[in-house]
Structure 1
Amino acid sequence: MDEKTPPAHLNPLQRFGWDVKQVRLARNLRQKSLGKAVGYSEAYVSRVEAGKLLPKPSEKFAKGCDSVFDTGELFTGLLRRIDEGDHPSWFVPYLNLERQAARILDYSANLFMGILQTEEYARAVFRAAHPREEEAVIDGKVAARIRRREVFEKTTPPSLWVILHEACLRTVVGGAAVMARQLEHLVRCAHSTSIDIQVMPFSAGAPAAYMMPFTLLKFGGSPAVVYSDDPRGGRLYDSDGTVAWALDNYDRLRAHALSPDASLVLIESVSKEYRHEQQRLAPE
């Protein structure tokens, strides 16, 4: 096989690394030289080229490669398509808007929104939804979901306000240990200056949106959009009437949910319940 022909069956990260290596060699650069030029170590470059850097190389690295190699936005685009390739096509438009949003308002009815999920929780969700998929496919979906957290690493991250129906806390995904760690992760997220979390308790009765989750994305001075799931996938809505409906319902949900502080108390309490259940079921 021609050494310039990529091996068969490379996953997207391995293909990205293979492409970096081929261009680097064509430019007569060592890994150490490339690393120094883009602001990373030789070991980092080596892991990228081997396709072993998880969840993925940074956008800064991709932009640095484009600058050093004079390849326009080739590697930046390849990196972006890694994300898109692990998401269903109908979700990609939302994903692109999520990266641009100044504010994210989410109502989660049964499962925690993807951007707040732990790796274990996400894996259990995807495995349940795709029981016949190969493990490598599930790995890609999980990694892509975890990468969505990168929006909070921006210089000016979006503000995220999440209202969780108590059903999210009580729906056991992946077992007691997974749920305990997921709720502990939520508590850590709630202490971020960018994230607010409220819980809609069962005792609040039927909420405004009941069991229909939706997400509002706001872009500063630009019009907001609404994302909601349906049986065929997700859809984006930008009509004035739909956005107004979502904003009105979100205000009602917030009014009937527990306060952020009381919500944290409940989340921590349920997390302890899962820990106790885990200990009870552990073999002696």
Structure 2
Amino acid sequence: MDETTPPELFNPLQSFGRDIKRVRLGRRLTQNQLGNATGYSYAYVSMVESGKVKASEKFADGCDLAFGTNGLFSGLLRRIDEGEHPSWFVPYLKLERKASRILIYSTNLVTGFVQTAEYARAVFRVSNPRTSAEGIEDKVAARLRRRKVFERDAPPLVWIILHEACLRTVIGDAEVMAGQLAYLLAVAASPQVELQVVQFAAGIPARSTMPFTVLRFPSSPTVLYTETRVGGRMHDSAQTVDAALDDYDLLRANALSPDHSLTLIKTLLEEYRA
């Protein structure tokens, strides 16, 4: 489900890699020795140091142990993930990485969880008009890194319901939309993902007309996340969460089936390509 990411998105990773190399050389360790100490190959160490791959949490922890840096690199790695997200979004992001099931309802934009780089870039340019080009690229990179949850040993089951407006609202241009819809089709091919579309003709099938996400966990209470113009909010009261789950059931029941949803997306994709 990965998508080719332009090299300019890796600036934070290059900075992280340079710091690893600087401390490694200061400790008089070779790449092979650091690899042995952390449980990775020297080739992996080389790719991290050059910014070609994002270091794993295990590698960062291993570096801290090998260097005696007391959590420095594990902290830097966390900040790479969190630094380009709004502070109010970070608590949600931490929970998203641990969830066993993620239920998403999006009303006007394709949910950030499965946005392409081009689509996300267009969104950020509008929502952050005074941010530099480099700053926009950092935000795009941070958004794409959310896909890492699919690389977990036990990835979550993700159910995505998109309102038809998400597919018809042109973000960027027709080419950007075609790329986004093509990626949605690729995402939906994963056994971990179910994708449905609520058509305009369905009216208002649930009480909620705003986007929301429900996170479920193996041994923790279910959490509801909602977002407004001024920020996001987590809800864990049983009554609020149950109401959201009822809404989600109604949305699923009134949406097109997964197969028919993909047929609609394919039709719109051809329209954008034309």
- Output the TM-score relative to the length of structure 2: 0.90
Does residue 1:96 correspond to 2:114, yes or no? no
Q: Contact between 1:106 and 1:216, CA under 8 Å: does it hold in 2?
A: yes
Counting only pairs closer than 5 Å after superposition, residues 42-57 of structure 1 correspond to structure 2 as 42=42, 44-50=44-50, 52-53=51-52, 56-57=54-55
Structure 2 residue identity aligned to 1:138: I
Q: Contact between 2:105 and 2:211, CA under 8 Å: does it hold in 1?
A: yes
Counting only pairs closer than 5 Å after superposition, residues 41-80 of structure 1 correspond to structure 2 as 42=42, 44-50=44-50, 52-53=51-52, 56-80=54-78
Bigger CA radius of gyration: 1
Which residue of 2 is the match for residue 160 of structure 1?
Answer: 158
| Residue aligned with 1:100, SS | coil
Q: CA deviation at 1:32?
A: 4.2
| Residue aligned with 1:222, SS | coil
| Residue aligned with 2:138, SS | helix
Match of 1:174 among 169, 172, 175: 172
Q: Contact between 2:208 and 2:247, CA under 8 Å: does it hold in 1?
A: no
Q: Give the fraction of aligned pairs with identical amino acids, expressed as a percent.
A: 61
Q: Distance in 2 between matches of 1:243 and 1:259?
A: 24
- Output the TM-score relative to the length of structure 1: 0.87
Q: CA deviation at 1:229?
A: 0.8
Bigger drift between 62-71 and 110-119 goes to: 62-71
| Residue aligned with 1:193, SS | coil
Q: CA deviation at 1:49?
A: 3.2
Which residue of 2 is the match for residue 110 of structure 1?
Answer: 108
Does residue 1:121 correspond to 2:109, yes or no? no
Structure 1 residue identity aligned to 2:171: V
Q: Contact between 1:110 and 1:211, CA under 8 Å: does it hold in 2?
A: no
Which residue of 2 is the match for residue 143 of structure 1?
Answer: 141
Does residue 1:188 correspond to 2:193, yes or no? no
Structure 1 residue identity aligned to 2:205: P
Q: Distance in 1 between matches of 2:168 and 2:189?
A: 22
Aligned residues: 264
Which residue of 2 is the match for residue 243 of structure 1?
Answer: 241
Bigger drift between 70-79 and 246-255 goes to: 70-79
What is the root-mean-square deviation of aligned Cα atoms in Å?
A: 1.9
Q: Distance in 1 between matches of 2:138 and 2:247?
A: 35
